[in-house]
Each structure stands twice: as structure tokens, then as C-alpha cells.
Amino acid sequence: MIQIVNDIRTHEVQFSGLVLTIGSFDGVHLGHRTILDEVLRQARARMGSSAVLTLKPHPREFFSPDHAPSLLTSESKKWQLFEQAGIDAVFVLPFDETVASLEPEAFVEEILVRRCRAESVVVGHDFRFGKRARGDFELLRNLASKSGFSVTQVEPLLMDGERVSSTLIRERLLLGDISKAEAFLGRPYSVVGEVVPGRHIGSSIGFPTANVRPHHSAIPAQGVYVAYTYLDGRAYPTAVNIGIAPTIRNEDMTIEAHLLDFSGNLEGREVEVAFLKRLRSEIRFPSVQDLIAQIQRDVAEVRAFFEAQTAL
């Protein structure tokens, strides 16, 4: 099981032969996986351990909370993905004024050497560190040679001529381009959240929905989606509407998941909704009857999607 160290400043690292990478790793996409793969390769070669050092909150969120990027993964989901990749530990460095004021040299000495006891550090092509992000890879390499650990820089991953990044994935999600987001992530994009009380309008028209409040804020474009809802280790085929339900409600945007062939109250439960395909945009219908007819067609299309998957 992966070890989570919630404050590396107060923890005595016990790992030997530690290979460390540093970053936010929001989304843990395929570009991140190339870095993690190098960490794991080096750890195996050293017969050592692997770890991720991550800042919490992200510096951009700390300095400009109103302009911080929306997150692709909740913290718990990110830890799960690290564990699935084979990483041994996550070291959390709480980001505050003290950490923000560390010069690059002090960051290396106090955090990487003294606290993490890293023997090798693997970073991405755009890695920056220290006060005002003054430190770059060249400085890291110079400091590493003096401190006795090795460093490796991993080149960015290009797919279809584009550099895979969390920013690019957010852009695709905002366009409703679920397939491209999935390609960059290496898995379907999902949100994890709590099912909160709704107005039960879906139930009143024959399509009960779970109103999902996500723990992170990167939400795909408004529309109707084919999805899986994961609950208690099971995957339920689901029709999802993201939007304001203009025909009957016209309120704040919500994620409403209609689990096919499921009965029960999900309020208060945590679920994960994984988006597989976008069927259409959200539109306003002339009447509730027209809306019901379209939902019936949507549900039929969702069923057909999963039946086709089963037949493969």
C-alpha cells in the first residue's frame, strides 16, 4: 500500500535508494506517466524506493486563489493513481509563506537532501523550484552535483503534434471533447463527488437522477454523456446530464446521473462518474413531454452503447 506523508517537514524518511519526482501531477496524464515510469525504472535499477513530492496547495492556488486552474483529479484519486502506477510513497509539502520564501539552494538542501534524503531526482521539462520559481533544471543539476544526488530531465510527451498537459486536457473538456481528453489521460475522465439532495424532478418524470457534487472543479462541457458510475466496487451504465436543465429548472449547473437499472437512495454516498462519450448538447425543449421523449432516446442510445461494448 502506498504511504502518504502529510507533512514531509515533520517526518523522518525511512526509504533507502530513494528516487523522487516533484510536481502537482494534476490528472496524472500520460505525460506525467512518462516521468513516473522513469522514476520506477531508476528505483528498480537501484533496488530502491519511489516517491512523489507534491506541494499543497499548488503555488498558483496559494498566490492567486481566484485564478487557480480547475483540478482534474481530487487528492484521493491522485493518490490512487500513483498507487496503481507502482509508486511507494507520496510526500506532501504544505505550501505556505515559509516554503514560498525558500531560495532554490535552500529548497534543495532542506527539502530534497535533509527531509527526503533523495538519491535521484526526476523532473519534467518545465520544472521550476524555489522562491519566485527562480530555480530551473540547470541550477538543480549544479546543486545536485554538490549534494551528491543525480538528476534526470524527462522530455515532454507529444501526441498528434500537441504536448500533453493538464492545461490541454482542461481545454478539451471545456469543448466536450471527451475522446481526446481520454486519449491524453490514458483513461476515461472522471469526477468524484458526493450525491447531494436535489429537487427530485427527474424522479417525477420517470428518470431518477443522482445529483453529484464533485470534489474538484474541472467539469466537461454542458450536454448529455454516456458514463459509468462507480459505487461499492461496481460499475453502473449511466446517462449523465451536465447543465442547467433549461426546460424545467434553468438554475445553477449540475451533474445529474441516471443509473440504468438501479434502484436505491444514493444521497450522502460518494460516487465516481467516468465519462465515455458525449451524445449531444443541452437544449431547451418546447415542453416537458418533448424533454421526456428526448431522454427516452438518450437512454436508449446509452443502452445501445454498452450493448455494443459487450458484443466486442
pLDDT, mean of each 10-residue run, the chain (312 residues): 95 92 97 99 98 92 86 93 98 95 97 96 96 96 97 97 96 97 98 88 78 90 97 96 76 89 92 97 88 93 93 66
The predicted pLDDT at position 93 comes to: 96
Which domains are seen in the chain, by residue range?
3-155 (3.40.50.620), 188-311 (2.40.30.30)
Q: Which of 113, 145, 117 is nearest to 49 (CA)?
A: 117
Q: How many residues does the chain have?
A: 312
| DSSP assigned state of 222 | S
β-strand partners of 103: none
Note the pLDDT of residue 217.
77
SS3 assignment, position 65: helix
Q: Which residues pair with 277 in a beta bridge?
A: 226
Predicted pLDDT at 69: 86
